[in-house]
Amino acid sequence: MIDILRVLFEFGSVIAFCMLQFIIYPSLKFYSKDGLIKWYHLERDRIFLFAVILAPGHLIVAVFQLLNRQDAYTITSIGVIFLLWMHHFMIVEPKHRKIIAGIGSTDQILNSISKNNLVRILALVFLLGWSIYNTILETDLWLPSSRN
């Protein structure tokens, strides 16, 4: 069951980050600097609500998996998830704060955020693929004959 929860959290994260990458971030380029700051103050908290549910849930499920079994999949996953959190708080979040504060070129900052978000998407797609593969091997839910 924990494996399936992991797949659900990773799938939800991939969808959320793809929505940011392909819908929200491109549309922000059409705002003026003042309009963008206003948008951030009004709308960012709504998007943050998804992150508050998905990110900690993903981490908690991965920690439970690691406590249950220590193998290349769980150890590497925790490492990648930890790096994603560090990447967000050390690189991406300060850029969002610059936009809110009205510091610097919003076009350059948005391009940087978009590039960094693409890195997160690629890492999450990697984890999602590995989690699906691992879930198929570890559970009887999908393919009963695949489990040894």
Residue-wise pLDDT tens digits, 56-100: 999 999 999 999 999 999 999 999 999 999 999 999 999 999 999
Write down the pLDDT at residue 43. 87
Q: What is the pTM of this model?
A: 0.87
Length of the chain: 148
- CA 60 to CA 58: how far, in whole Å? 6
Nearest to 134 by CA among 80, 73, 79: 73
- Kindly give, in sequence order, each residue whose CB lies less than 8 Å from that of residue 7, ignoring residues fewer than 6 positions away: 128, 131, 132, 135
Q: What is the mean pLDDT of residues 13-29?
A: 93
Enumerate the H helices of the chain as residue ranges.
Answer: 2-19, 25-28, 33-68, 72-87, 93-101, 106-138
